[in-house]
Each structure stands twice: as C-alpha cells, then as structure tokens.
C-alpha cells in the first residue's frame, strides 16, 4: 500500500493558480523527488500534502487516511523538514526534539528514547545540550531534520533541505537521507538541484508553473528528450578515418568530425567506450580527451518547458 | 555521515501517538509551557512581568504615598466663627487621627503659630507646610449672605500639595452652597451651627484624596502591571509571527494539532506569566510599599479575569498581525491607548465623559474599577461580578476570534 497518494491537487491564491492537477504516489522505502525552479509550486504542493494548506481540489491520502477527513491521523504519519531552520534557537537541540516529540503525543521514557535515537541519527548526541544558536549551519540543518524524525514518521517530507548549505554538510545530509530509505521510510524531497534529485530519487516529478510536466524514473524522463548521448573524442590524427570506422560499430547511431574532434552518437556503455578507444588507436588517432554528453534532467526540463531549470 | 542504530530500525512497534479530541488541551499546554520556558530563559517574563511593574509602580508609590514626600496642609481659621469652627472640625475629623499626627501621607492640621495668610506663606516658604487652606474672615456670615471662597496658599515648588489643597477647598466651597442652607436653618432655628455633622465634609475629603490616588494605592501598581502585560503580550505575538516566517509554525502545524491549539498555547503562555507577574506584584507591592489591594480572594479572582482578558487580546493581535511590525503596533496601541483611557499612568484616574466610559471597558480599566469597587470598604466580588464576566468574555472571544482569523490566513 502506498504511504502517500496525492491526487489532482489544485490550489490558487487570489486569481493566481499555484498548483494545478498535481498527483503522485510514494511507496514504503521510496524516495520521490519534486524537481522544479523556484516558484514552480513545489512548496505549495507539500504544504497541501502536510495539511498546512487546504487544496481547492484533489485529495491527499497518507496511509489511507484522507487529509481533509482524518487530518490528525494522517499527520501523525508524516514528518516535515521546512526549508528554513525551523527550530527554537534559544532552546537546546534536545529540548527542540522533545518539544516536537510531545506535539506528536510522545511522552515519558518513550519520548526520551526517541529523542536519543533521533539525536544519534543526525549525529548530535555530543551537542544535544547546547543551544541551537550555538550550532554551526550544518548542525542546525541536521537538527532540523532530526526534529522531523523524533516520532519515527512513515513519510519524511523535506523542502529543499540543502539550500544554503556547504558542500560537506550537503553530502552528509544526502547520505543520511539515503540511509533512511534503507530502513523503509518513504521520502518526499523537493529541490531545484538536478544532481540531488538524480542521486536520491527513484521517481521524479518535474514541476513548472504549478503543473507536473513529467513524471517517472530518471531514465524514463531522460528518454523524453529523444536524443542519444554524444561521445566527444578530441585528438590528433586522421579523425575522418576514425569516424568512418566508428559508423560500422554496433550501437553507433551517427558519427561526424568537427575541427579536431569526433562526435559519436550512441547509447553509452563501458564496452562501447573501450571499443571506440581501440578503434582510435588502430586508425592512428592520438586521443587527447573523451567527454560524454548525455542528456540529463536539465535537458529534460529544457526540452519540456523551453527554458533552463535555474532560469 | 549519520549512523543508524539498531534502535532506529523499524521494529514494528506502534508509536505512542495520541490524537487530540475536541477538548484535548494537551498540545496547547505543551506549546504554552514551551512559551513560558522560553520567556523565563530569555528573561522577558521577569523583566516585563515583574521588574517593570514593580519599578514603575514603586516610583509612583514613592511619589504619591507614605514612603515619598508627605503633603502637609495647614488649616487657618481667620473667621473664628461657629461656622468656620464646624468646617475646621469637620475637615480635621475627615481624615482621622492619623492625618494630624504625621502617620498619613496627607496631613491636615491646624498650627498655633500660623494665624494669618502671611504666616501661612512664611511657613510655606520655609518648607514647613505643603499648602494652606485659609477660611477668610466673614466666611461664617457668607452662609446667610454672599458666597465667599476659601483661600488656598500654595507654591509652585509643591504642585501636588497645592493641587490637593485646592481640590479640597473647591469641594468644600461647593458643599458650602448646600451647607449654607443647612446652617441657615440651624441659625434661624436658634441652634448652634457647630453641631453640623462632619459626614458631608468627610465625603468631600475622601473623594478628593481618592481622586488623587492617595486613599487606594493598588492602581499605582495595577496600571504599570497592565502596561507591561500588554507589552509582554506583544513579545509573544511577535514570537508567533516570527515562528510563522521561519517555518516553525509550519512544523508545529504539521503535527496532529490544530491552529486553535497554537493560539490557545500562546494564550496559556500569557495567562501563566501574567498570573505569576500579578501575584508577585501584588505580594511585593503589599510587603515593600504597603499597598492595599483588598481581600485576597477578591483580588485573585479579579486579577485572574484581568489576565484572561489580556490573553484574549493576544489572540486578536495574532489574528490581526501579518508582520512583527504590525504585532508591535497593535500591542503598543493597546498598552498606551488602553493605559491612557483607563488612567493606568495616573494612578487610576479615569478620563471624563465618554472616554471614561470607554476606559472602564478596557481590560485594565475594568480591573481597576473592580479592584476599587470591591476593595477596602467596597461590596466585594458580588458588586463587581459584571466586570469580571466582561473580562473573561474578552479573553474567550479574543482567543476564539484570533484562532479563526489565523486559521483563515494560514489555510
């Protein structure tokens, strides 16, 4: 059974449509990414998923509890990590986690145990007694995530958790999310960083101007672009001979040479690359470098919307 | 890199979650307790709830009551008639024996060496007295003839003393119009006018002194307490607005609770801190400054109702304010607007006319009036029940309306 089913969500603010007909589902242990530029409607969508915003249309079901009908039961299964560091800075990390645990109905020894677990999970056991204001930026981000994990939600919702985070902390956060997937937690992850979506998410929904323009696995989405990867081989020597030979290789769709560089259009594989390098040597080409230009989610977005992801 | 412990792995254990029913106060109490803890930690509760009211109330107390400069008014009888003797005796008895032996903050007495306006002026210049009320020669005849005013000898150096003496003199003169007919009746009946009961004069003096805030000193502390409670309300309202802007409110609302719980939690914070502050202010002002508040139970109920009404206003501010600046503006408006209307800055002296009526409708005005009317010599809670109901109503309506407004804005 799916942990989350969002169906045909729609929401307007005044006359402006922020989200229109967005739907997706997430199973246990799955990580689903909502990818889109700022203002695409990602935060509005997860606000409806969390029960913070009432949809104008559509439904949200968390573990078969419809958000509009059995809101408390639905909310009890989810943990939200807001985009900002949503913690009381004058309280310690432990006190913050205890507070949000209590709001989830935890108490007594169970609360203490869950807080200890969450602190361990985000690596803040040693600094648990320190006030959040004394934490580094990365520690605050980790504590921000820990506060959403204290009640062991079935669905963790992260709204751009790496915005403004240094590369080291970002990597730690992403690695932590990968581990959560390993213990069966469903994750809904919004980002405008293509690399993060590709790294974390089994399925990705691409949003633009409030609409889900495409949805699927990374491979499925990339296939929408309708072009094969291009292997760009630069070097000295008879590139025209290399191109002629390459056109005879199985899997090569097209090949051409341009000013000291040969472009080979093909489905990339390690075997094919190895074969092409052998071919270059045999045709007398001294290879200076190889670059693979494979379509990615950026290309998908460009292909679908006519603009770059970060425009 | 995070480390997953065995305890973090799924065990199939059902989390101990509770789902709030309509009457479940749990989440609101959790949020309210958190607000109190944060207030204690950043010391706003102590500064706004206790130190501020005590310092400001203490300054007012030192200025107006026995621990401050005393007001010493001398009565000079130049008329030496039976009428003036009756007025002198009436005024002296009006304040009781304390007013003649220096134990009262206001002393009203005769001085053997001061028998003329000039001597009164000399005593005033020498700083021996604060002001003098002179009954001019022929005043006794005025009861059957042309009206004559009492003369007040005052000084710009002692404006409070002059004002009190002037107030008493004006009231006595006004009352003399009534008494003139009574005295005339006594004289025409061949009776001694000095037998006039001092009751009317007692009322004159009591009214004057109460108007100046001398007889009942709880307002000196209630006023500052109310102002600082309003300002403390602003701190809580701003905190909620800030929570909304940085996502804490989203995180809180993502838990299985309602927006009502959020507003109620903030109101509980104000209630708890307000009750603690009021208790400390009442106790400390009584012990340190000798303030008289009235019967403890009456005071407790009135203060509870007052704090509830302030908490209700927090709900309204939270519902109205979209930004921290707006929350600031609303609370400053309440603190100082209500403060002026209810006389919080003037020892409980309300404004005249319609403004006075409006002032009595404000939470601090209603509390002030309830304390005065139920206070020493008053009717107790039975006589002010409608004010208590009014204050609680402000509290309930404020929280409900604020909750609805906030919910509409957020959803």
Shared domain check, A148 and A40: yes
Radius of gyration of chain A (CA): 24
Nearest chain A residue to B247, by CA: A86
Query: Best of B5, B236, B256 to disrupt the A interface by mutation (most A CBs within 10 Å)?
Result: B256
Intra-chain end-to-end CA distance of chain B, in Å: 37
d(CA B363, CA B343): 12
Kindly state whether residue A310 falls inside one of the protein's structural domains.
no
Q: Same domain, yes or no, for A12 and A158?
A: yes
CA distance A116 to chain B (A): 10
Q: Is residue A125 part of a domain?
A: yes
Judgement on whether residues A111 and A239 belong to the same structural domain of the protein = no
Q: What is the pLDDT of residue B183?
A: 60
Q: Is there a contact between A9 and A45 (Cβ–Cβ < 8 Å)? A: yes
pLDDT value, residue B214: 41
Contact B10 A183 (CB under 8 A): yes
Final residue of a domain: which of A188, A223, A258? A223
Contact present, B161 and B154 (Cβ < 8 Å): yes
Pick B169 or B94 by higher pLDDT: B169
Q: How far is CA B272 from CA A34, A99, B400, in A?
A: 44, 18, 19
How is chain A split among helix, strand and coil, in percent rounded to 5? 35, 30, 35
In whole angstroms, give the CA distance from residue A155 to residue A147.
14
Please state the domain extents for chain B.
Answer: 27-62+216-410, 70-211
How many whole angstroms separate alpha carbon B321 and alpha carbon B237?
Answer: 8
Q: Which residues of B touch A91 (CB under 8 A)?
A: 34, 37-38, 41
> Residue B198: what pLDDT?
41
A122 and A265, same domain (yes or no): no
Give the list of residues 6+ apart from residue B147 with CB closer than 8 angstroms, or none: B173, B176, B177, B180
Joined together, the tokens standing for residue B163 give 């004002």
Q: Which residue has the higher pLDDT, A86 or B112?
A: A86
Tell me, yes or no, whether A139 and A105 share the same domain. yes
- Chain B residues in contact with A52 by the CB 8 A cut-off are 250, 253-254, 410-411
Share of chain B above pLDDT 70, in %: 67
Considering the domain architecture, whether residues A112 and A49 belong to the same structural domain is answered as yes
The arrangement of strands across the sheet holding A286-293 comes to A252-257, A261-266, A230-236, A286-293
Are both A189 and A267 inside the same structural domain?
A: no
pLDDT band at B202; cut points 50, 70, 90 = very low
Contacts of A51 in chain B (CB under 8 A): 253-254
Average pLDDT of span B306-325: 88
> Which of B8, B10, B17 minimises the CB distance to A105?
B17
Top pLDDT among B334 and A25 is at A25
The per-residue pLDDT for range B215-249, each reduced to its tens digit, is 446 666 777 778 788 887 888 888 888 888 888 99
DSSP one-letter string for B8-64: GS---PPP------TT--HHHHHHHHHHHHHHHHTTHHHIIIIIHHHHHHHHHHHHH
Give which of B365, B410, B400, B388 is closest to B267, Cα–Cα. Answer: B400
CB-CB under 8 Å, A52 with B256: no
Look at residue A143 in the predicted model and tell me its pLDDT: 93
pLDDT of residue A33: 93
Q: Which of A169, A202, A223 is the last residue of a domain?
A: A223
Residues A53 and A191 in one domain: yes
Does any CB of chain B come closer than 8 Å to the CB of residue A4? no
Q: What is the dihedral of CA B63, B64, B67, B69, to 10 degrees?
A: 70
Residue A105 in contact with residue B17, Cβ under 8 Å?
A: yes
Show which of residues 64-83 on chain A sit within 8 Å of chain B, judged by CB atoms: 71-73, 75-76, 78-80, 82-83
Instruction: Quote the pLDDT of residue B11.
Output: 33
Q: What is the mean pLDDT of each run of 10 residues along chain A (311 residues)?
A: 92 92 92 89 93 93 89 89 91 95 91 93 91 91 92 92 83 85 87 88 92 90 84 88 89 86 86 89 89 85 77 52
**A:36-65 residues touching chain B, CB 8 A cutoff:** 47, 50-54
Q: What pLDDT is stored for residue B211 in this prediction?
A: 45
pLDDT recorded at residue B155: 75
End-of-domain residue from the set A191, A223, A255: A223
Residues in chain A closer than 8 A to B28 (CB atoms)? none
What is the model's pLDDT at position A97?
Answer: 95
Q: What is the pLDDT of residue A7?
A: 94
**A44, A211 contact by CB (below 8 A):** no
Tell me whether A148 touches chain B (CB under 8 Å).
yes
Asked if A94 reaches chain B (Cβ–Cβ under 8 Å), the answer is no
Q: Which of B2-6, B29-33, B178-182, B216-220 has the highest mean pLDDT?
A: B29-33
DSSP A192: S
Return d(Cα B177, Cα B184) in angstroms, integer. Answer: 11
Same domain, residue pair A278 and A192: no
Q: Are A132 and A251 members of one domain? A: no
Domain containing residue A154: 4-223
Decide if B5 and A120 are in contact by the 8 Å CB cutoff.
yes
Give the mean pLDDT of B35-46: 81
| pLDDT (0 to 100) of residue B370 | 86
Q: How close B308 comes to chain A (CA, Å)? A: 24
Nearest to B2 among A71, A83, A121 (CB): A121
| Smallest CA–CA distance from A13 into chain B, residue | B411
Residue A309 lies in a domain: no
Q: Are B218 and B302 in contact (CB under 8 A)?
A: no
Q: Which residues of chain B neighbour A71 with C-beta distances below 8 Å? A: 256
Q: List residues of B whose CB lies inside 8 A of any A CB.
A: 1-5, 7-10, 15-20, 26-27, 30-31, 34, 37-38, 41-42, 246-248, 250-257, 410-411
**A135 and A192 share one domain:** yes
User: What's the gap in Å between the CA of B302 and the closest CA on chain A?
Assistant: 33
Chain A nearest CA to B325, separation (Å) = 20
Closest CA relative to residue B306, chosen from B373, B396, B379, B395: B395
Is there a contact between A179 and B18 if contact means CB atoms under 8 Å apart? no
Q: Which residue of B has its CA nearest to A183?
A: B9
Indicate whether B43 pLDDT > 90.
Answer: no
CATH number at residue A77: 3.40.50.300
Q: What are phi and psi of B57, to 5 degrees?
A: -65, -40
> How many structural domains compose chain A?
2
Give per-residue pLDDT as tens, B251-269: 999 998 888 888 889 889 8
Say whether pLDDT at B23 is over 70: no
Domain assignment present for residue A303? The answer is no
Residue from B22, B251, B266 to probe the interface with A (highest A Cβ count within 10 Å): B251
> What percentage of chain B exceeds 90 in pLDDT?
8
Q: Say what the pLDDT of residue A163 is.
A: 82
Residue B333 DSSP symbol:
I
pLDDT of B379 > 80? The answer is no
Question: Distance (Å) from the C-alpha of residue A78 to the closest C-alpha of chain B?
Answer: 8
Q: What angle do CA B274, B276, B280 make, to 5 degrees?
A: 115
Q: Are strands A230-236 and A286-293 parallel, antiparallel or unpaired?
A: antiparallel
| Residue whose C-alpha is closest to residue A256's, from A242, A276, A269, A267 | A242
What is the pLDDT averaged over residues B279-306? Answer: 83
The larger pLDDT score, comparing residue A298 to residue B49, is at A298
Give the three-class secondary structure for B165: helix
pLDDT at B17: 43
Residue carrying the six token digits 């300054």 = B59
Q: What is the pLDDT of residue B60?
A: 64
- The fold for domain B70-211 equals Rossmann fold (3.40.50)
Residue B24: the pLDDT is: 61
Rounded CA gap, A300 and B5, in Å? 39
The answer to whether the Cβ–Cβ distance between B4 and A183 falls below 8 Å is: yes
Residue A182 lies in a domain: yes
Residue among A91, A104, A120 whose CB faces B3 most closely? A120
* Residue B202 structure tokens: 């007692």
């Amino acid at each position: 059974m799916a942990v989350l089913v969002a169906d045909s969500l729609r929401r307007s603010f005044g006359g402006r449509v922020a989200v229109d007909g967005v739907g997706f589902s997430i199973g246990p242990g799955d990580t689903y990414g909502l990818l889109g530029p700022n203002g695409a409607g990602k935060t509005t969508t997860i606000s409806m998923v969390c029960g913070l915003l009432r949809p104008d249309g559509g439904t949200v079901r968390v573990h078969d509890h419809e958000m509009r009908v059995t809101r408390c039961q639905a909310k009890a299964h989810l943990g939200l990590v807001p985009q900002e560091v949503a913690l009381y800075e004058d309280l310690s990390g432990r006190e913050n986690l205890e507070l949000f645990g209590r709001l989830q109905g935890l108490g007594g020894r169970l609360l203490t145990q869950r807080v200890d677990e969450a602190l361990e999970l985000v690596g803040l056991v040693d600094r648990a007694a320190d006030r959040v204001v004394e934490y580094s930026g990365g520690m605050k981000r980790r504590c921000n995530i820990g506060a959403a994990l204290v009640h062991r939600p079935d669905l963790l919702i992260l709204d751009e958790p790496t915005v403004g985070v240094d590369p080291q902390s970002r990597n730690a956060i992403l690695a932590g999310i990968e581990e959560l997937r390993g213990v069966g937690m469903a994750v809904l992850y919004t980002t405008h960083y293509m690399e993060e979506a590709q790294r974390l998410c089994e399925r990705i929904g691409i949003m633009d101007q409030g609409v889900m323009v495409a949805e699927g696995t990374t491979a499925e989405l990339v296939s929408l672009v309708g072009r094969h990867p291009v292997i760009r081989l630069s070097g000295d020597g008879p590139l025209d001979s290399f191109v002629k030979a390459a056109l005879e290789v199985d899997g090569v769709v097209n090949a051409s040479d341009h000013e000291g560089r040969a472009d080979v259009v093909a489905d990339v594989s390690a075997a094919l690359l190895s074969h092409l390098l052998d071919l270059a040597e045999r045709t007398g080409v001294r290879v200076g470098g190889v670059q693979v230009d494979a379509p990615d989610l950026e290309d998908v977005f460009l292909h679908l919307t006519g603009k770059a992801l970060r425009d | 890199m995070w480390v997953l412990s065995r305890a973090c792995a799924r065990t199939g254990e059902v989390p101990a979650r509770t789902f709030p029913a309509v009457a479940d106060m749990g989440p609101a109490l959790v949020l309210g307790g958190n607000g109190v803890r944060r207030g204690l930690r950043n010391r706003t509760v102590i500064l706004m709830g206790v130190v501020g009211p005590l310092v400001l109330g203490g300054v007012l107390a030192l200025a107006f009551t026995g621990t401050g400069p005393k007001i010493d008014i001398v009565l000079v009888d130049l008329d030496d008639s039976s009428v003036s003797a009756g007025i002198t005796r009436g005024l002296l008895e009006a304040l009781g024996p304390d007013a003649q032996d220096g134990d009262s903050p206001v002393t009203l007495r005769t001085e053997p060496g001061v028998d003329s306006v000039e001597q009164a002026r000399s005593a005033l210049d020498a700083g021996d007295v604060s002001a003098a009320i002179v009954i001019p020669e022929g005043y006794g005849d005025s009861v059957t003839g042309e009206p004559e005013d009492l003369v007040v000898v005052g000084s710009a150096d002692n404006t409070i003393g002059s004002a009190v003496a002037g107030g008493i003199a004006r009231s006595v003169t006004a009352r003399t119009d009534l008494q003139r007919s009574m005295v005339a009746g006594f004289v025409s009946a061949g009776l001694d006018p000095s037998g006039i009961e001092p009751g009317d004069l007692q009322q004159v003096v009591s009214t004057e002194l109460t108007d100046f805030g001398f007889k009942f000193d709880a307002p000196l502390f209630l006023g500052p307490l109310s102002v600082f409670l309003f300002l403390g309300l602003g701190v809580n309202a701003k905190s909620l607005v800030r929570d909304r802007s940085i996502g804490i409110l989203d995180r809180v609302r993502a838990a299985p609770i309602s927006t009502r719980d959020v507003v109620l939690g903030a109101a509980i914070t104000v209630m708890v801190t307000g009750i603690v502050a009021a208790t400390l202010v009442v106790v400390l002002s009584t012990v340190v400054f000798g303030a008289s508040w009235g019967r403890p139970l009456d005071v407790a109920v009135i203060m509870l109702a007052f704090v509830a009404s302030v908490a209700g206003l927090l709900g309204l501010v939270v519902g109205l304010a979209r930004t921290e600046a707006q929350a600031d503006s609303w609370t400053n408006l309440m603190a100082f607007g209500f403060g002026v209307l209810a006389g919080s800055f003037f020892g409980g002296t309300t404004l005249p006319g319609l403004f006075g009526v409006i002032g009595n409708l404000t939470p601090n005005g209603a509390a002030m009036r309830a304390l005065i009317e139920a206070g020493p010599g008053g009717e107790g809670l039975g006589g002010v029940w409608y004010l208590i109901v009014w204050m609680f109503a402000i509290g309930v309506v404020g929280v409900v309306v604020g909750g609805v407004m906030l919910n509409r804005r957020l959803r």
